[in-house]
Amino acid sequence: MVDIFQEVEEDLKRERTEALWRKYGKYVIGTAAVIVLGVAGREGWKTYEHSTSIENGTRLANAVELANAGEDKQDAALEALDAIIAEGNAGFVALGHFQKAAVYLRAGATPSAVTELEAVAGNSDIDQVYRDLAVVQIAMNSANESNAQELITRLEPIAVPENTWYYSAREMIALLHIAAGEIDAAKPLLTEIADDNEAPSGMRARASELLKAVGA
């Protein structure tokens, strides 16, 4: 009889965990394309300003314009971005992959987007800030119960205060713990985010809401 009650309790816990992941994990994933576009645009302009390759900067701007011009221009945008990746320097290569990932995310082609992000994360010639962002984006767009621990391991070196993506990485680690059914491991991370006045306000609000949802 004890075993039956234990099994029911585990089933309820699993259902609760899955419901939390569906509600909050997907929200974070939904912001992935926005983050990619915003950061790639900002960093791309900085690269454009400081690079001697004015031609590459112009080509990137044109490719981004195509990417934002509608579905019928997406193939042309991908082709233009491929050319930038093939011929550009490391900074433009990263931006090309990020923009391709954004195009694929908008089209619902998540595996293709993750492939583009992995190309950034695994390229040692690319600046670390881009590579770290790619890892965060990979986690946001490929997380599930089966790969949660692997992704946590990849995010842990990024989840340090001196890293640009510190808060995003910590929030994602907390969500991955939830995805894996490790609620107790997620609680202290969420508490730290909720109580950190330096954290983005939206992230703090999500952390507070999640803490209420898990009964903290």
Q: What is the pLDDT of residues 19-50, one digit of tens each?
A: 655 555 544 444 444 444 444 444 444 544 44
Q: What pTM does this model have? A: 0.76
- The whole-number pLDDT of residue 89 equals 74
Task: Give the span between the Cα atoms of 172 and 24, in whole angstroms.
Answer: 10
Q: What is the pLDDT of residues 54-100, one digit of tens each?
A: 666 777 778 877 877 777 788 888 898 898 888 867 678 888 898 89
> Rg of the chain over CA atoms, in angstroms?
19
b/e map 30-60, b = 16+ CB within 10 Å: eebbebbbebbbebbeebbeebebeebbebb
The CA-CA-CA angle for residues 177, 179, 183, to 5°, reads 45
- The whole-number pLDDT of residue 29 equals 41
- Residue 90, classed as helix, strand or coil, is helix
* CA atoms in the 13 A half-sphere facing the CB of 208: 11
- The whole-number pLDDT of residue 107 equals 85
